Copies of this chain bind each other. A is one copy, B any other.
Amino acid sequence: MKKMLLVYILLISAFALYVLRFEYNSQVNSSWEDRGLRGDIGETYIMITFQSGLEYWKSPLKGFEDAADAFGVTVEYRGATRYDAKEQTMVIEQAIARKPAGIAISAIDPQSLVPAINKAIDADIPVVLFDADAPGSQAYSFLGTDNYKSGVMAADKMAELLGREGEVAVLTLPGQQNHEERTKGFRDTIKDRYPSMEIVEVADGHGDAMVSKDETLRMMKEHPELAGIFVTEATGGAGAGEAVQTVADRHPLQIISFDTNKDTLDMIKNGTISATIAQGTWNMGYWSLQYLFHLHHQLTVPAPSSSGENAPLPVMVDTGISVVTRSDVDDYYAK
């Protein structure tokens, strides 16, 4: 009986020790430093775009979601369904009302959203911008493509395709900042680096497949020696591709397009489009969520109190570009 009691006591002691050890471990685990960067499932981060149904947004949203998975937080996707600044402003205001942990916005134009963005910041909701900037706003950071550089890269690729000589044209959206910069990068590079190449025309494709097709056909007719065309956005690229497909018996036309939607990739695969510029869209979304998470949890550099100018985060992030051709097009289809 006494022996039994001893076993009993020993066992209870071991049990108690185990419980204590477990509790101790739990406590250590709950301290920030031991458990790594981790949020709460109740924390909601919202991504807001325009023309929200576009295939283009899938990749930034995937990056946004991947970062959220890593942190154990929640994301939502919202957007203006159309190309409508008032609608996007309304979507932002609805988001503010829900007091999310942070908002990542692709701005429909540089000016229209500034008041709505600043309203979010005033309500202590962190905002970063991705893909399309609104430079006058109080958003903490912009993550996107260096559009001038993408035009430079397109020009170098065009020169490679054409053996550094021949007539080329640009099909773009005059007046939109991103597209103006892409055109300028292309134009400056052809002019500075390739003296045997000439830009014979810069046309307006209206971001529309039909208009772009017609403009391409017109330019092919007016410039019989036209050997290459750089289209600064995907819909126009597909239109230019259709134009080439309808014309036989002509000087071959190399098309360089933009972005990696399925239509563009298909046309690269069948040889209609020679190359396209892929943007770092996953990175835009992934690092947008990272930045918002750091702002929400106050993990950024402590900003001097009295200075309004100080940057708690990098202010501008160039998410990178790459040239996609037939040899690697399969790697760019959405998985």
A residues contacting B by CB (< 8 A) are 1, 4, 7-8, 11-12, 14-15, 18-19, 22, 29, 32-39, 63, 69-72, 143, 146, 278, 280, 282-283, 286-287, 290, 299-301, 304-307, 309-311, 313-324, 327-328, 331-332
Contact = CB atoms under 8 A, between A and B. Distances in A.
30 contacts: A1-B4, A4-B4, A7-B8, A8-B11, A14-B15, A15-B15, A18-B18, A29-B29, A35-B35, A36-B38, A37-B37, A63-B301, A278-B310, A282-B301, A283-B300, A283-B313, A290-B290, A304-B331, A304-B332, A307-B324, A309-B323, A310-B320, A311-B320, A313-B320, A314-B319, A314-B320, A315-B318, A315-B319, A315-B320, A316-B318
Most buried by B among A14, A305, A314, A319: A314
Nearest to A284: B314
- Report how many copies the assembly holds: 2
A283 B313 CA distance: 7
B18 A11 contact: no
A8 B301 CA distance: 57
A322 B306 contact: no
A71 B309 CA distance: 29
A114 to B, nearest CB: 20
Contacts of A309: 322-323
A220 to B, nearest CB: 30
B304 A328 contact: yes
A70 B37 contact: yes
B22 A299 contact: no
A9 B304 CA distance: 63
Given A304-B328, A314-B320, A331-B304, A18 B22 contact: yes
Contacts of A287: 314
Nearest to A69: B33
Contacts of A15: 11, 14-15, 18
Nearest to A316: B318
Nearest to A11: B11
